Amino acid sequence: MKVVRCRKLIDGRGAQPIENALVVIDGSRIVHVGSEKSVGLPQGNYEELDCSEMTVLPGLIDPHLHLALGPGSNYDEMFQCSDGLQLSSGIVNAQMTLESGVTTVRDCGCRNRIMLDVRAAGQRDIISAPRLLVSGPPITMTGGHFYFCNAEADGSEAVRRLTRQLLKNGVDFIKLMASGGGTSATRRELASYTAEELKAAVEETHRQGKTVAAHCHATEAIVNATEAGVDTIEHCTFVEPHGKGRRHVFREDLAAEMVRKGIYADNVFVTTPDRERLEWSFENFRRLRKAGVKILPGTDGLRLYETASLALVLEMMVRAGASPMEAILSATSLAAKALNMDTIVGTVEVGKEADLIAVQGDPLEDIRVLKTPRLVIKAGNTVPPSGRTEARVRADALAQKVLSILNESGIS
């Protein structure tokens, strides 16, 4: 048994923090939680983890990462990486992401079976990794965004067959590329699939009790994905064709329909140091939030050593008007519910998996303390630091660039 002694416990359910709390862990599960007076210490031998000067909260969840795309600086370079090199990147990124306090990751696309292998290695304790939900290769139109992952399909029946095959292969959810993206020769402002094509994948996936995520930059893609009934819309940037370029035009009617259907928006914020995209992400977040859309904090981290930016996204949410508690809930209980993981993780409750982090200070007063967890526990086991600092260094450098632009632009 383990006992985590907390100065303050944020349980992920939105209630007031519990002062001087104890969390009792037996194996991988939480068996008691509450104030020291109400819980008491277990009988017999146990290991005590002293966080009496720290705040403890649920392990964080990043609902949109790409752990294994390889060490390239852009998609074209990543495409040139072998499966073995991408697998190696996935292993390193998984370890460093876990050390950053992210104990659950939804990996939103890789080539072939690479992330299924990373998931299996983590489950067998061959590597240190977060709890992984994987889509395998995203389904895309011929030549579409992420075509190099080798899951191209055109037409409703082809999409249906490929969805069935991926589910047979053991993926946890289905990822659909409903518009273009950063892949060369694709266009963000154009939809890649019709509502009928997307609906074929949704029907097959929901039949097996799993979820569907749709990559949508184009407004037309958001329309199609919403009609098809996907579970999460990734990016949700409302891009429309405009002369020789493109523009963002928020659609309140679409946001209202997302609310009506219970569709989440994910990865609304970009962590790219690009002023125009940052400004839109703040405006888009505020409008979606005002409309009542449930927003998840996916980071879209995809490069080697650059998958530890969840704390930055949570800070951006707070800067954009969310309370620190709201930001924390988006990366704990709300994300767990969206990913169909809410009976397993997302809160510190009896019966849940013991995924916890401890930070110095109070994230409800300063959300930035989440950047440097002092203790990470996954499934009841303390995660030993590897001594590698690349992810933290890259995350800090990226945060400095992004926050500098925000400060210079007066975006807050």
pLDDT at 244: 62
Same domain membership, residue 386 and residue 320? no
The answer to whether residues 380 and 29 touch, using CB atoms and an 8 Å cutoff, is yes
pLDDT at 411: 82
**C-alpha neighbours within 13 Å on the C-beta side of residue 6:** 29
* Residue 13, domain extent: 2-58+347-393
Same domain membership, residue 353 and residue 324? no
Phi, psi of 98 (to 5 degrees): -60, -45
Same domain membership, residue 352 and residue 329? no
Q: Which run of H or E residues covers position 156? A: helix 156-169
Same domain membership, residue 167 and residue 86? yes
Alpha-carbon gap, residue 412 to 409, rounded angstroms: 9
- Residue 98 domain-assigned? yes
State which residues of the chain have pLDDT below 70.
243-245
Return the structure tokens found at 307: 């998958």
- Residue 125 domain-assigned? yes
Where do we find the tokens 């809410």? 342
Alpha-carbon gap, residue 40 to 16, rounded angstroms: 20
Q: Could you read off the pLDDT of 30-73 as tens digits, one per residue? A: 999 999 999 988 888 999 999 999 999 999 999 999 999 999 88
Same domain membership, residue 116 and residue 24? no
Which residues are CB-neighbours of 111 under 8 A, at least 6 positions away? 68, 83, 86, 137, 148, 149, 150
Return the structure tokens found at 361: 């200070």
- Residue 407 domain-assigned? no
Same domain membership, residue 132 and residue 122? yes
Q: Could you read off the pLDDT of 20-29 as tens digits, one per residue? A: 999 999 999 9
- Residue 398 domain-assigned? no
pLDDT at 390: 87
pLDDT at 392: 83
Which among 29, 92, 84 has a CA at the least distance from the CA of 307? 92
Alpha-carbon gap, residue 264 to 223, rounded angstroms: 14
Alpha-carbon gap, residue 244 to 351, rounded angstroms: 55
Same domain membership, residue 119 and residue 146? yes
- Residue 403 domain-assigned? no
Same domain membership, residue 139 and residue 15? no
Same domain membership, residue 119 and residue 43? no
Q: Strands of 131-134's sheet, edge to edge?
A: 60-65, 102-107, 131-134
- Residue 175 domain-assigned? yes
pLDDT at 245: 64
Q: Strands of 356-360's sheet, edge to edge?
A: 29-35, 18-26, 2-9, 47-58, 356-360, 375-378, 381-382
CATH number (domain holding residue 18): 2.30.40.10
Q: Which run of H or E residues covers position 284? A: helix 275-291
pLDDT at 48: 96
Q: Is 83 exposed, middle or buried (0-12, 13-18, 19+ CB in 10 A)?
A: middle
Domain total of the chain: 2
